[in-house]
Every structure is written in structure tokens, then in C-alpha cells.
Chain A
Amino acid sequence: MRIPPPLLFPLSLLLLLLLLLPTSHSSSSSNGEDLIDQTCKLTPFYDLCQSSLRSSPSSSSSDLRGLAQIMAGSVLDGANRTLGQIQQLLDRSSPADPAADQPLAYCAELYIPVVKYSLPQAIDALSKGRLGFAVYGITDAMNEAGDCNKKISSGDGSSSPVSDGNMLVMDLAAVALSIIKVLQKSL
């Protein structure tokens, strides 16, 4: 059809806007992803940071403090899983060799206060702006996981899922701590 000349310019402008809209729409969602991307670049484990944050549906619309909380939650999940693995191994262990249990029992003693106190309190502290207190709790989790790892590394290979768990907790904690550090600087 023939477009009347006076309408030609406004219509092409409208067409251009319509073409641009999807781009602008995607750039507002990429702002959320940009924040995740920018934040994760500042952490020691970019891929781990990305995958942990993205696995939470709320991360794309979270601010920096929200990302810190999601990450702290991931540390707690990791610690809970690792403690679960430790307790499973202890349940399955043969009573004939109690000495083999000693490193695992030691690790359980390290993880229990971490999942009961350190990490839940750190997560709560983030929501209250007590960032230093959050750093304390997450650092504690990192240290206890490291301590556990030292204890079981002298054992045999059957502890290796626990060792993987410890490493994951330590890495997640390192990511969470660096996000909080960015948050502290931004305030």
C-alpha cells in the first residue's frame, strides 16, 4: 500500500523503535547479568561464582547485597552437603576399625557449629548490614573446611567426596568473601 508522505517519517521512526525495543529489553536484563558478570570477575573463581549465582532464580534481579546473600547461602548448602557426606560415611563405617573414623568424626565436629551457627549467622548478618560479622562467619566456615581437609588428607581415598566437599566450601567461601569485600567498599 502506498504510505502517505507525511506519515513516512514517523512510521519509519516507529519501525526503528520497534526494532530497537527487543535490544533495549535485553540490555535491561543484561544489566542484571552484567552485575553478576562484573561481580564474578572480582572473585577468585569466576565460573563457580557464575554457576552458583545463576542457579538462584532471584539472582538476575538482585543487587550486590542480594548476590552476597545468595552466595553465602551456597556456602551453607555446600557445608550441609559435606556434613551429610561425612555423617553417611560414619554411619556406614565398620566398627572393626574405629581409628579410621577419627578424622571423619573430627570433621563432623568442625562442620556442626559451622552449619548451626557460623553460616546462618553470617547470612542473617548480611541482611542487617553487619558485614564484618558476616565475614567472620564465612571465614570460619572456610577455615574449618580447610582444617577438615588437612585432617583427612592423611587418610585413604574413601574420604575423597569429603575432600571435594571441603574444597567446594572453601572456594564458595572465598567467592562470598570477595563479594562482601566489594560490598564493604561500595558503602
Chain B
Amino acid sequence: MDDATSKSFDHPYTVLGEDPSLVIPPAESRQRPTKVYFGILTSTVFLLSLAGLIVRENPNRAENSIPAAGTAIPESSQDNVRFLPVGEAEGVSAKSYPSTRGRLSFNWTAADFAWQRTSYHFQPEKNWMNDPDGPLFHLGWYHLFYQYNPDSAIWGNITWGHAVSRDMIHWLYLPLAMVPDHWYDIDGVWTGSATILPNGTIIVLYTGDTNEAVQVQNLAYPSNLSDPLLLDWVKYSDNPVITPPTGIETDEFRDPTTAWTGPNGTWYVLVGSRLNTTIGVALVYETLDFKNYTLLDHPLHTVDGTGMWECIDFYPISTNSSVGLDNSATGPEVKHVLKASLDNLKLDYYAIGTYDEGNVTWTPDDPEMDVGIGLQVDYGRYYASKTFYDQNKGRRILWGWVNETDADYDDLAKGWASVQTIPRVVTYDSLTGTNILQWPVEEIESLRLNSTEFEDVFVEAGSLVPLDIGNATQLDISVEFEIESTQALEESMLGETESQLECSVADNRTTLGPFGLAVLADESLSELTPIFFRLVKSNGTLKTLFCVDETRSSKATEVFKEIYGTVVPVLDGEKFTMRILVDHSIVESFAQAGRRVITSRVYPTEAIFDKAKLFLFNNATDLNVTAAIKIWQMNSADIHPFPLY
């Protein structure tokens, strides 16, 4: 790792500390009736005139021109069919959310709503949350900041909420870290990242939406680095430090990343945007002091047809060990992951590739699986994910925002919306070489209470096995399925016609699937959420689909009920394994040790409290499976305000 010299930024912020920001009362909240959390687009003319204004106001900023567009990726989108999010095959488009405006809300009781609250996932006590921000470890504490509306359960008046934990599981709420109180963030203190410098200084770069709805990047830092709780934050007196360059739309320029070092004490930071409205781009800024920035004349990378890149994340990953790497790490056994949240699809995509330190560019290992057209981070309800390097335990940790899938008016009625996933450790999958692995942090095991184990459970074709485990709303489940050899299966299926690669509903019985677990199911199965594997013959070989079917998860008609799914590689000799975290209205499902993940939100009306049950099932017509399953009851994480005094 190239240790940048600290000479150029030795304690630069003790000086700045003499100039604390004035705090003015936050702006009036604006109620936004939709759940799309980035602003309404204004006309291009207005934007350009604003851009002109900003440029004139800051004559010291370099006149940055549009960076050269990257090589357009050929339209080999036919290959996408192989990896269609199978929701699309079902006609439930991943792009659009079914309108719930016209649908009557289920007659939820207060108890129903209370049940929906998660027990061990991070969520504020009330109101709206979205993107995780600036996660970091400092003086024994993990910090999480998050987009938060202190006034309402829908997006608006965005601040940085703040919570701390010793173990990333037992969180304690702290006062808001930053509120919209300057012209450069008065319309919202939006998403940002933290960088910990070699000398221990913490800097945060975040997007502020200005009083004219222009997206700018601002610098902030803790007022007292020796405060382990980092309660108070100072905004740099000369914000913004980065404004939209010429040719970039002023409302498509946001979410600065954690910085990494270049040669001679330089640091690089990425800001997401789009070119010609359709080309997703990672713009690179160079800085020595985090106050003055130069836009590089070329982006880190672009991908045609992917649109605006929000919440870019860029980090190194070791290919020969499971140890996490600091953002500045490089080397022969190091690859780099580039990730973007696609605004058009509201999906998180990533690709593994090679970072060229000399050119400051990045190339995917497989251009056909480039950012935005290849792998998703999570195949369910999941967005705005962000990683950080946990220097405490040497891990790369991934956070992801999980929005509700009920109606806005349900959120307003119950007074809250959104949760974060359980933080996941990210490592390179050296067995496939083509994807990352994600796994819940081991600290979650401290919540495990008692367990029940079932071994050698023979589940023959067309059967259902109830699992008597008591409470079934807070669970940590590990299950593995064994079937007869896939070679034998392939041979027996030689005569069969090829099938569509689609999850379909769990009730749809095909030869080799589905088999799996039904969670949050009531006794009569009037409601259930099946999580399953379905083996399908495609392109001459057997492929495995990993799916979550929400279509029967709830009798409520105003909630989204998607079918999420993806092909998951299952290597020779591997059993079919799942780990499932059930926590009331959120279910996180991991296939093949985290090779693919699906996060799901469900709102049962019957399968709640002690009526929720767990079943093993096998709906295949011509396949028997044997299951081994261990189920842990999970304790509450008892997330509450930090009693400081």
C-alpha cells in the first residue's frame, strides 16, 4: 500500500476548528408525496443558467470541461437475457413499481404496524431513513450516519442521522450529526462518505443540495476527534469544495466516495453523474488538502445506457485472502470493485476489475458484465449501498438501504419507513472468480438464543414439512439441500425442452423445483413467503435459480409483492445452501455462502406474532431432496437512544 505522505495535510483541521459553522434553525420541511428520493428535474435551460451562476460565483474554481466519454460498450444486451432479474420475466418490471395510489389500504391495527418493526436491524425510532452515510470505526465505536427526515415518514428535509455501536449490532441513537443550515445544503444534507487519513484525521465529503437545487460537494469534519462519539461536526467555512463542472447537469452530480491515495500525496475522490443522459460516469477529482480539487480530464469509467450513477463505491479486494483492504491498497493480488446505484432502475450493480494507478482508470474483468449491465449487489429490495474498511478487524463492510414496499400512506400511518440490512463482510469469491461474497457480520451471532436442528430430513417431491420451532419471526436459519447428482439429472433431462430462466411462483411445479423454505407462513398457508432453488435446463446445462416469491406474502393489496431472483452458480460437489435472516418485515436470504443475496420486505396480515410458522417444502415433480437445517431464535438488538447523562 502506498502510504501517502501526511506532510501536506498534517492537522489541517485544527486551524479550521477555529472557524465553526453557525447553526441556524433547519429549513421548513417539504413533504414529498413520492418515495423517489432524488429531486424533481427542472428544465435544462434553468440548469444551464444555474451552472453559469455557480461558475461565476467561484472564479477560483478551475473551468472544468466535460471529461472525455469512455468507450461506449457495444449493445450486447442480448446477453442480459441470461441474467434477467427474473422479476422482469414475470412481467413485474424491475424498472417500475406498480402504482399503489388507487389501492385501498389493508385495515392495519396498531399491533400489526408494531409487529412490522424489526427487532435486530438498524432503523430509527421513527420517521424516514434512506442512504447509509460515512460509515467508519473510531476509538472503539462503529459509526453509522444515514439520510434522515426528522419530521416525517416520507423523504424530505434530509439530515444526517447518527448512531454508534461497539459491535455493529447493538446500536445507540445519538443526536443528528448535520442538518441543512447553510445555503449550500439548505435543501438537504445528502449522501456522503468518510475518509480516515493516515494520521487519524477524519474528513467527510457529502452532497449538499443548495438553495437553488444545485448539487455541490461539501467538506465536514468532527469538531473534536478525541470524542469517541463524534457528536459534533463542523462544516468547512469555504464550502462547497466542488461544484458541478461545465457540461454536467447540476442536479445529476452527487455522492462523493471515500478517497484513496495516488502518487505524491494526492488523493482521489469519485462523484457520480451521467453524460448525454444515458452514459453513467464516475468523475474523478484530485486533491492534496480536501479543500481544493481538480477534475481529471477523463473519468474513472463510463458505461453506455446505464444512466445516472448514484452512490458510487470503489474499493480494492484481495483475490488471495479474505482479509479486508484499506481503500488505498493496490498490488498484484488486488482487484477493484466498482459499484453504482442506477437511478433509472433503483438497483445496485457492481463489477470486479483492474485499477490502473498510472492512468487512474478502471477496466472490468468482463466487459459484458460491466457496471450496470452485469451483477447486482442484491437482487431484492436494496439500494444506495456503501462499504467501508473496518480497520478494527481488518474487514470490508457493506451497508445497504432497504426501503419499505408498502404504500406511502401506510408509512405515514405507522410513522416510520426503511431499515438498513445487517452489515455484511465482503470478500472475493475465489471459487468462481467472477463475483463477491457477502455474509452477515459474525457479531450477529451474539443475538442467537436457542437453536433447533433437523438433520437428514427427506423431503420428497410434492411435500411440505412443518418445522416446529416456536417463534418464527426472529430467526437465523442455515439450511443445506442435497439432491442426486446433477450429471444424472442432466442425463435424465436430455430429452426435455429448454425452459425459460424464470423463478415463477413457488406454486408452479417444474421437474426440478422449487424446493426451499417458506418463512412467515401461517398454519393454513393463506400467507407465506417461499425462498427457493429451482433447477432449470438452459443452454444445454442445468442452471440454478435462487428466488424469493412475495406474491402470497400478504393479503394486503396495497403492498408490493415481487418475485425476486437470479441465477446462482453452484459448483461441482457443492450442496445447495441458504442462510436466511428473518426479522419481522425484513428477510435477508443468502445463497451459496453469499454468492447471491436477496433482501425482501413483506407485510403479512395473518402470519404474524405466534401465528407465523416455518416450513420446508419441495414442489418439484421429479426430484427428492434431503435437507439439514439449523434454526436459531434471535434476540432483540435493543436499539435505543444513548443515555449520555
Contacts and interface: CB of A to CB of B under 8 A. Distances in A.
Nearest to B645: A132
A135 B644 CA distance: 9
Contacts of B139: 117, 121
A41 interface: no
A132 B642 CA distance: 8
A125 to B, nearest CB: 8
Nearest to A133: B644
Of the candidates A129, A130, A131, A184, the one having the most CB atoms from chain B within 10 angstroms of its own CB is A130
B228 interface: yes
A133 B229 contact: yes
Contacts of B229: 133
A117 B140 contact: yes
Interface string B151-175: 0000000000000001000000000
B140 A113 contact: yes
A151 to B, nearest CB: 14
Contacts of A118: 140
B643 interface: yes
A129 B645 contact: yes
Interface size class of B (residues with CB under 8 A): 10 to 19
Interface residues of A, number: 14
Interface string B285-306: 0000000000000000000000
B349 to A, nearest CB: 37
Contact of A117 (B228, B642, B643, B645): B228
Nearest to B229: A133
Contacts of B141: 117
A131 B644 CA distance: 6
Interface in A112-167: 113, 116-118, 121, 129-133, 135-136, 140
B166 A113 contact: yes
Contacts of B644: 130, 132-133
A41 B166 CA distance: 33
Interface in B614-645: 642-645
B228 A121 contact: yes
Interface string B110-146: 0000000000000000000000000000011100000
Contacts of A129: 645
Contacts of A121: 139-140, 228
Contacts of A131: 645
Interface in A77-130: 113, 116-118, 121, 129-130
A113 B139 CA distance: 10
Given A113-B166, A117-B228, A121-B228, A130 B140 contact: no
Interface of B: 139-141, 166, 228-229, 642-645
Interface of A: 113, 116-118, 121, 129-133, 135-136, 140, 184
19 contacts: A116-B140, A117-B139, A117-B140, A117-B141, A118-B140, A121-B139, A121-B140, A130-B644, A131-B645, A132-B642, A132-B643, A132-B644, A132-B645, A133-B229, A133-B642, A133-B644, A136-B642, A140-B166, A184-B645
Given A132-B645, A133-B229, A136-B642, 12 more contacts: A113-B140, A117-B140, A117-B141, A118-B140, A121-B139, A121-B228, A132-B642, A132-B643, A133-B644, A136-B643, A140-B166, A184-B645
